[in-house]
Amino acid sequence: MRIILDTDMAMGAPGSEIDDGFALALLLADDTFDVELVTSVNGNIDVESGTYLSVELLERLGRPEIPVVRGAAAPIVEPDRARSAPEEVRARFGHHKAAPGFAAAEIARRVLASPGEITIVAIGPLTNVAAAIALEPTVAGAVKEIVVMGGVFLGHTNVRRMPGEFNWWVDALAARAVLRSGAPVRLVGLDVTTKVRLTREHAATMAAGGRPFGEFAGECTIAWLDRLGREHPGDPEAGRSCAMHDPLAVAAISRPELLTWVPAHVDVVAADEVGRGVAITDLLTGHDAPPANATVATAVDVDAFMTYFLDRIAAL
Kindly list the averaged pLDDT for each block of 10 residues, start to end, along the chain of length 316: 98 96 98 98 97 98 98 96 93 94 98 98 98 98 98 95 97 98 98 98 93 94 96 90 98 98 98 92 93 98 98 94
pLDDT at 274: 93
What pLDDT digit, counting tens, does each position of 41-76 carry?
A: 999 999 999 999 999 999 999 999 999 999 999 999
What pLDDT digit, counting tens, does each position of 227-275 carry?
A: 999 999 988 889 999 999 999 999 999 999 999 999 999 999 998 889 9
Task: Kindly give, in sequence order, each residue whose CB lies less than 8 Å from that of residue 123, ignoring residues fewer than 6 positions away.
Answer: 5, 6, 7, 8, 19, 20, 23, 149, 167, 245, 246, 249
> Given the DSSP bridges, would you call strands 118-122 and 2-7 parallel, antiparallel or unpaired?
parallel
pLDDT at 177: 98
pLDDT at 225: 97
pTM of the model: 0.97
pLDDT at 34: 98
CA gap 85, 46 in Å, rounded: 6
pLDDT at 286: 86
pLDDT at 236: 83
- Where are the extended beta strands (E) located within the chain? 2-7, 34-40, 68-69, 118-122, 145-149, 185-188, 197-199, 241-243, 259-268, 279-282, 294-300
pLDDT at 155: 93
